[in-house]
């Protein structure tokens, strides 16, 4: 199951699809143009059924094998949305949409799954059904959850799900994966520390919330260093410190801290939420103020199923010669919602020595396309063998 020769032939065409998507990025659920192009191509390929509007703007194409005696359906998922970033690549196919760009490679993911869908519809060398899933709003919108809530998994009888993400720093066209927890849960918090404002020349007449905030920023790190088990992973980052004043000589009545929490154990989400509130309220009380905490749970931990991870790694090894063990990643991924509902696996595909994802100079490496397409096809043929 090496890289399919067909994808060498299709590479210029798939690259053209990818670059067109790159030039026309769409954010969150506003992927109407992308979804329309995807659905049209799936119909052109001869998919047996193409359904639009799942999870608002998601698309699912069904491809039946030469036989369907197995009665099984597996899902292959790609994300379609871009990021609210101004592109700085200078490419001739750079974003034509101000303030939006494909800075995470979802254009590549979509193009590769389209290429795989075309091949599977041509050959149908499997026993069962493949559902190719094109999802909106991975970048913070929970599009995977919305497609599930729209009944996608049950409607199409999807038994397993597989996903892929390009990864700068991994050699071009190579793969990496790990079983169990892989990507972190991603939570957010907002702390409002309230005191009593006044003139900066008379601090004794105030209850200074900026001092409370400064203390809180440092003290919150003790949750990681002194409350979390040191063999477990947790990140608490305060990313914004805003005051109610922009003047040089005014102590504001309140400050707002915003940040994110990343964990790989569900219990540590509870720990972080509890301790952030306790620490903030304790600091505020020490200085005579008060603290209010808002805490939002985002994407859950994304955990690969053990058996399906082995299968995914075997296919990757057949395509690329080997499959490395991937590191734990403290970023989030809403494929987690699909893996909570069905067994499956998520793999990294090397993008080579490129700018990192979510960077204005990032670009998906088109030379990775044959490997990515071959992996998706390999998953379908290995999990639904003709026998």
The candidate with the shortest Cα–Cα distance to 105, out of 21, 7, 36, 10, is 21
Phi, psi for residue 303 in degrees, rounded to 5: -120, 125
Contact 292, 212 (CB under 8 A): no
Q: Compute the Cα dihedral for 361, 367, 369, 371 and give only its sign.
A: negative
Q: How far apart are CA 149 and CA 147, in angstroms?
A: 5
| Sign of the four-CA dihedral 342, 348, 349, 351 | positive
Nearest to 300 by CA among 259, 267, 343: 267
Specify the length of the chain in residues: 387
Asked if 257 and 190 count as a contact pair (C-beta separation under 8 A), the reply is yes
CA distances from 84 to 99, 185, 386 (A): 6, 22, 44
| Position 1 pLDDT exceeds 70 | no
Identify whether the C-beta of residue 182 lies closer than 8 Å to the C-beta of residue 326.
yes
Tell me the three state secondary structure of residue 183.
strand
Q: What is the pLDDT of residues 47-106, one digit of tens each?
A: 999 999 999 999 999 999 999 999 999 999 999 999 999 999 999 999 999 999 999 999
pLDDT in tens, 94-107: 999 999 999 999 99
- The C-alpha atoms of residue 29 and residue 25 are separated, in whole angstroms, by 12
- Residue ranges of alpha helices (H) inside the chain are 5-23, 32-45, 106-123, 143-149, 152-155, 209-219, 221-222, 266-286, 306-320, 335-341, 369-383
* Cα 325 from Cα 310, distance rounded (Å): 11
- Contact partners, residue 202, CB within 8 Å, separation at least 6: none
Share of the chain above pLDDT 90, in %: 98
Q: What is the CATH number of domain 5-182+302-383?
A: 3.40.630.10
Q: How many CB atoms lie within 10 A of CB 270?
A: 11
Binding residues: 104, 106, 139, 165, 358
The mean pLDDT value for 17-31 works out to 98
Sign of CA dihedral 79, 81, 86, 91: positive
- Known binding residues for Mn(2+) are 104, 106, 139, 165, 358
**pLDDT at residue 4 is higher than 90:** no
Give the architecture (CATH level 2) of 185-296.
2-Layer Sandwich (3.30)
**Which residue ranges does the chain devote to CATH 3.40.630.10?**
5-182+302-383
Q: What is the mean pLDDT of the chain?
A: 97
pLDDT in tens, 213-247: 999 999 999 999 999 999 999 999 999 999 999 99
* Residue 153 DSSP one-character state: H
How far from chain centre, in Å, is Cα 42? 24
Average pLDDT over residues 249-269: 97
DSSP secondary structure string for all residues of 206-259 = SB-HHHHHHHHHHHTHHIIIIIS-TTS-EEEEEEEEEES---TTEE-SEEEEEE
| Nearest Cα to Cα of residue 288 among 212, 219, 191, 198 | 212
Q: Is the pLDDT of residue 127 over 80?
A: yes
Q: How, if at all, do strands 254-263 and 234-243 pair?
A: antiparallel
Identify the pLDDT of residue 387: 79
Q: Where in the chain is the domain with CATH 3.30.70.360?
A: 185-296
pLDDT at position 5: 87
Contact criterion met (CB below 8 Å) for 195 and 288:
yes
Mean pLDDT of 330-334: 97
């Amino acid at each position: 199951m090496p890289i399919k020769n067909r994808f060498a032939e299709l590479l210029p065409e798939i690259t053209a699809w990818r670059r067109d998507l790159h030039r026309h990025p769409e954010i969150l659920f506003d992927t109407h143009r992308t979804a329309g192009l995807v659905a049209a191509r799936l119909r052109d390929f001869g998919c047996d059924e193409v359904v639009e509007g799942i999870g608002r703007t998601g698309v699912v194409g069904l491809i039946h094998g030469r036989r369907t005696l197995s009665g099984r359906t597996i899902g292959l998922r790609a994300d379609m949305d871009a990021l609210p970033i101004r592109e700085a690549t200078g490419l001739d196919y750079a974003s034509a949409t101000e303030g939006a760009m494909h800075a995470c490679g979802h254009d590549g993911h979509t193009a590769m799954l389209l290429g795989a869908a075309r091949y599977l519809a041509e050959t149908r060398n499997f026993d069962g059904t493949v559902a190719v899933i094109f999802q909106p709003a991975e970048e913070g919108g929970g599009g995977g959850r919305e497609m599930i809530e729209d009944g996608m998994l049950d409607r199409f009888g999807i038994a397993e799900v597989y996903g892929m993400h390009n990864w700068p720093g991994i050699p071009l066209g190579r793969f990496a994966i790990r079983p169990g927890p892989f990507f972190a849960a991603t939570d957010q918090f907002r702390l409002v520390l309230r005191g009593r404002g006044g003139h900066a020349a008379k601090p004794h007449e105030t209850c200074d919330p900026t001092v409370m905030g400064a203390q809180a920023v440092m003290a919150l790190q003790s949750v990681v260093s002194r409350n979390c088990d040191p063999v477990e992973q947790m990140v608490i980052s305060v990313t914004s410190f805003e005051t109610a004043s922009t003047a040089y000589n005014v102590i504001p009545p309140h400050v707002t801290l915003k940040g994110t929490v990343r964990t790989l154990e569900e219990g540590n989400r509870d720990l972080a939420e509890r301790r952030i509130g306790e620490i903030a309220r304790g600091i505020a009380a020490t200085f005579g103020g008060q603290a209010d905490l808002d805490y939002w749970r985002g994407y859950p931990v994304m955990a690969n199923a053990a058996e399906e991870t082995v299968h995914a790694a075997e296919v990757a090894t057949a395509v690329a010669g080997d499959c490395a063990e991937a590191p734990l990643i403290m970023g989030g991924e809403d494929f987690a919602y699909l893996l909570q509902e069905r067994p499956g696996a998520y793999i990294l595909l090397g993008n080579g020595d490129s700018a990192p994802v979510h960077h204005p100079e990032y670009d998906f490496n088109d030379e990775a396309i044959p490997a990515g397409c071959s992996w998706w096809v390999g998953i379908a043929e290995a999990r639904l063998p003709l026998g």
